[in-house]
């Protein structure tokens, strides 16, 4: 079977013409491409959802990475929400804490589900398990949330990149945030076009984000970038649901992300040679963790 969509325009058109959800188009394509049954495909996504749930729970109990660079922030944020003093909103901060929780587990070499990558695995579960408390979705709707995220991620992966080494952090946390924004819109009852608008608004604000991990570890600044990716996704989803649209069509935003990634210096693409990794403190941390061999200044 041929693929049902090569870009976001085709994805949205097909969903709107057939009166289906984006998640449904993704499920139908998966059935067609793999010849697996719907039950089988839904069950696999259900297992991925469970892995995400367990990672969030584990992170909220508190973890520390092997290096000690990250861990414990998810707990701090949850405690702060409980204090009732949060300024930016409980749901937003809940998403942030759950995104952080997932990435803290990842940095501790725990089990996570890459969404679309491990370094960006916090964003989609973060927003999902936060909006869950407000929208009260069924288990199937939560599974569909992941298919909607996956549909947009599928387009990005094939037309641009989801690799930090190839496209910088915009390709990882940027993609994850935009995917999450689109999925929030579908769960909240928005149209397929509104999903695409939320995706565009998010991605436009992630363009240019470099991948500059200190000591090459998926810790600093990755964990906090997932936090902001989740915040970005929620705000963009609200903007799209309010009726705000993107002047630049989604596929062109994805094209821009791809070209920016190509133009980005290799020192800013997961080589730990530029950006925050090259700061005095970043280098001092690298030396402390790996000894002089990790002195990355060339």
Partner 1 sequence: MKFTSVFDIIGPVMIGPSSSHTAGAARIGRVARDLFGRQPKWATIHLYGSFAETYKGHGTDVAIIGGLLDYDTDDERIKTAFAEAEKAGMTYTFLPETAHTEHPNTARIVMGDDDGEMSVVGISIGGGKIEISEVNGFKLHLTGGMPTILVVHDDRAGCIANVANCLAMHAVNIGHMEVSRIERGLTALMVIEVDENVDDRIIEQISYIPHITKVSKMNT
Total residues at interface with partner 1 (CB under 8 A): 62
Q: CA 232, CA 246: separation in Å to the nearest integer?
A: 15
Q: SS3 for 244?
A: coil
For residues 116 and 126, which CB has a smaller minimum distance to partner 1 in the complex?
116
Q: Specify which residues 211 forms β-bridges with.
A: 269
Least separation in angstroms between CB 135 and partner 1:
20
Helix (H, G, I), strand (E, B) or coil at 6: coil
Angle at 8 between CA 6 and CA 13, to 5 degrees: 95
Phi–psi pair at 258, nearest 5 degrees: -60, -45
Q: Does residue 196 bind partner 1 (CB under 8 A)?
A: no
The residue range among 77-85, 112-120, 243-251, 256-264 that interacts with partner 1, by the rule CB under 8 A, is: 112-120
Q: Which of 26, 93, 181, 231 binds partner 1 (CB under 8 A)?
A: 26
Q: How far is the CB of 187 from partner 1 (least distance, A)?
A: 15
- CA–CA dist 298, 271 (Å, integer): 12
State yes or no: residue 3 binds partner 1 (CB under 8 A).
yes
DSSP bridge pairs for 269: 211
Q: Does 24 bind partner 1 (CB under 8 A)?
A: no
105 binding partner 1? (CB under 8 A): yes
**C-alpha distances in angstroms, 162 versus 37, 71, 112, 175, 226?**
27, 25, 17, 7, 15
Residues engaged in binding partner 1 (CB under 8 A): 3, 26, 29-30, 33-34, 41, 44-45, 47-48, 51, 105-119, 121, 124, 146-147, 149-151, 153-154, 157-158, 161-166, 171, 179, 213, 215-219, 266, 269-273, 289-290, 294, 296
């Amino acid at each position: 079977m041929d693929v049902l969509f090569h870009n976001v325009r085709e994805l949205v058109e097909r969903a709107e013409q057939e009166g289906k959800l984006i998640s449904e188009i993704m499920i139908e394509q998966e059935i067609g491409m793999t010849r697996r049954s719907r039950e089988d495909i839904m069950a696999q996504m259900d297992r991925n959802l469970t892995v995400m749930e367990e990672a969030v729970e584990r992170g909220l109990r508190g973890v520390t990475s092997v290096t000690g660079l990250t861990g414990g922030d998810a707990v701090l944020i949850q405690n702060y929400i409980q204090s009732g003093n949060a300024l930016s909103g409980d749901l937003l901060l809940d998403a942030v804490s759950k995104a952080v929780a997932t990435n803290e587990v990842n940095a501790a070499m725990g089990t996570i589900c890459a969404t679309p990558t491990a370094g960006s695995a916090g964003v989609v579960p973060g927003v999902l398990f936060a909006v869950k408390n407000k929208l009260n979705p069924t288990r199937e709707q939560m599974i569909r949330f992941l298919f909607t995220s996956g549909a947009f991620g599928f387009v990005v992966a094939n037309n641009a990149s989801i690799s930090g080494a190839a496209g910088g952090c915009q390709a990882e946390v940027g993609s994850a945030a935009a995917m999450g924004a689109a999925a929030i819109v579908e769960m909240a009852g928005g149209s397929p076009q509104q999903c695409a608008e939320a995706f565009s608004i998010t991605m436009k604000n992630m363009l240019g984000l470099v991948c500059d991990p200190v000591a090459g570890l998926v810790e600093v600044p990755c964990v906090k970038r997932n936090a902001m990716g989740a915040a970005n996704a929620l705000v963009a989803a609200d903007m799209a649901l309010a009726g705000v649209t993107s002047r630049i069509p989604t596929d062109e935003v994805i094209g821009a992300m791809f070209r920016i990634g190509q133009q980005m210096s290799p020192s800013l693409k997961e080589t730990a040679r530029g950006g925050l990794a090259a700061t005095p403190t970043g280098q001092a941390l690298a030396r402390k963790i790996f000894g002089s061999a990790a002195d990355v200044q060339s």
